[in-house]
Copies of this chain bind each other. A is one copy, B any other.
Amino acid sequence: MNMLEIYNKDISYSYEEGKSLLDILQDSGEIIESPCGGKGYCGKCKVQIIKGKLEKPTEEELKYLSKKDLEKNIRLGCFVYPKGYTCVKFLNKEEKNYKALSDGYIPDIELNPIIYKEVITWEKPTLKNNFSYEETLEKSIGEELYHNDTEILKALANVDNEEKVTLLYYEDKLIGIESGDTKDELYGAAVDIGTTTVVVSLIDLNTGKEIGTETSINPQKEYGLDVLSRIDFVKRKDNGLYLLQKAIVECINFLLENLCNKNGIDIQNVYEIAVGANATMMHLLLGIGTNTIGKSPYATIFSKEKNLWAKSIGLKISSFGRLYCLPGVSSFIGADIVAGAVVANLKDTKDNVFFIDIGTNGEMLLSKGGKLVSCSCAAGPALEGANISCGMRAAEGAIEGIQFNEDGVELQVIGDAEPIGICGSGILEAIAELHKKEIIKKSGRLKRKEDLEKEKRHILAEHLMEEGKKRKVILYKNGDEMISITQEDIRQVQLAKGAISSGFYALLDFMDMGMEDLDSIVIAGQFGRHLKTGSLTGVGIIPENLKDKINYIGNSSKTGAMICLLSKDARKEMEDIAKDIEYFELSTKEGYEKLFTKCLTFN
């Protein structure tokens, strides 16, 4: 019998022969990290085989397995195909104390939410005025009700014995009715769905105050670490779209419930959720297929804002609750970036501002006194610590600061813990240091051990390791365990730097501007916030002479969602800006290849 037992969970599943272990586990609803989406190149879906007949690892699989792994019979789920009774054990490496960026600069706005309440005295039907409750209410408020939703009717059937009722309005249309006076209870939630992180903020719509924030890893990462692997997952799995939608909706519900419980607020008094996210995350939230985003011409199914009933996708706020999806521009310039444009006030400015959101994709907006042009480049996952040999996310144990002295290496580790890897900002700082201390050349090539010896930098030379032509810099060593930066890691960062800074120059060029014309550089997003200004300019992502003009606005996607909750004018502005942003496709620029190559070098 084909039975798969999970050793740590005391649970068994029957399975179909011919499926990979990873597929069987995911189909059974087990959560197992597989950032590459089961394509066999991330090496993350390791499980220990306690019992079971498996083919020996192929050479491909062996690339991802250490000697210790092999001793413990640890295998990659996507490579092995179980037969008969099999028992596996999950390797629990939970990320602890992960803290996403939730704060940020909040612009001044006038409190004027699209959702508001009014209390009236309810005049119920009588034998003489024997109209329906619906008509009686319509007469009281002097307008007709929506008649494409039953929630308000359901509520009307329950306010029978109340004298006072509270009316809930959305865009000056009555959308809900509650017994008694509930005017004081009026909340909204601002949500940023990042590919990696989800942030939910609970907002008091009466005061504009942010009551609290909860963050979590985006649970969709179990099905694919980056946007493309999730798009591929949707394509490959019959119910992939459903699984991804379910994961994110449950995550938002969970975070919001926590927030409400902590603050003694009834989740039924949350009436709107506003969401900022990139195009793929927005499609997945609404359960809309992402195939077209993943292939040329990379068109979204939708980019404009969406106004929906929150319950329509399973969000568990008030039954009258609304869902507002912020407007985006294209596959590459999503609602998160439009939100940033509003938060950074790029439209109403007389200044020339360059806005960059650094992540797997680098998204850029250039405002020339209010005229907006955007572009996007594939920076790759290196800056987020992925595709880096010892890369990890910015969690406890991640090296985030590095200084090379003539005495050796000094490390700063998140949580002051024993180092277990390097996070994205760490790798950037390390490479900036390697460049500054001339351990790498302009081309990015690590110097030879021999050269460092010649330069009498013996201690640094000791940190250099050479295996044939392959070189790496050892940052930390403890017995067999070793954390290093390889030549390949440096190449990955160079590619990211090349992509971003070529976009930077191309966009300036497109607007007939030079660096000297810029009044300010705005860095947005999760990753940017962790960076020291020196790291950005040190590797040349941003030119050194703009160092003093760099500003951080933090999670502008969430902030944008928040101001959409608080001000209907800001929402209108957001929708207008989304229409105004021009998109410039880098690959269509003459001489772009050359510019890109030039941008790969360190200066």
Residues of chain A touching chain B, judged by Cβ–Cβ distance below 8 Å, are 124-127, 130-136, 147-150, 153-154, 156-158, 160, 283, 286-292, 296-309, 312-313, 330, 583, 585
Contact = CB atoms under 8 A, between A and B. Distances in A.
A136 B297 CA distance: 13
B286 A150 contact: yes
29 contacts: A124-B299, A127-B297, A127-B585, A130-B298, A130-B299, A130-B330, A130-B583, A131-B299, A132-B299, A132-B300, A132-B303, A132-B304, A133-B302, A134-B301, A134-B303, A135-B303, A136-B299, A147-B307, A148-B306, A148-B307, A148-B308, A150-B286, A153-B301, A154-B287, A154-B289, A156-B302, A157-B283, A157-B290, A157-B292
Contacts of A157: 283, 288-292, 301
A223 to B, nearest CB: 18
A329 to B, nearest CB: 9
Of listed A148, A286, A291, A305, residue having the most chain B CB within 10 A: A148
Nearest to A308: B148
A429 to B, nearest CB: 37
A543 B308 CA distance: 57
A258 to B, nearest CB: 27
Nearest to A128: B297
Contacts of A307: 147-148
Given A286-B153, A287-B150, A292-B157, A125 B302 contact: no
B291 A160 contact: yes
Contacts of A309: 148
Contacts of A153: 286, 288, 301-302
A287 B126 CA distance: 23
Contacts of A302: 132-134, 153, 156
Of listed A135, A291, A300, residue having the most chain B CB within 10 A: A300
Contacts of A147: 304-307
Given A132-B300, A156-B288, 5 more contacts: A126-B297, A147-B305, A153-B286, A153-B302, A154-B287
A124 B291 CA distance: 14
B135 A304 contact: yes
Contacts of A291: 157, 160
Contacts of A288: 150, 153-154, 156-157
A261 B328 CA distance: 44
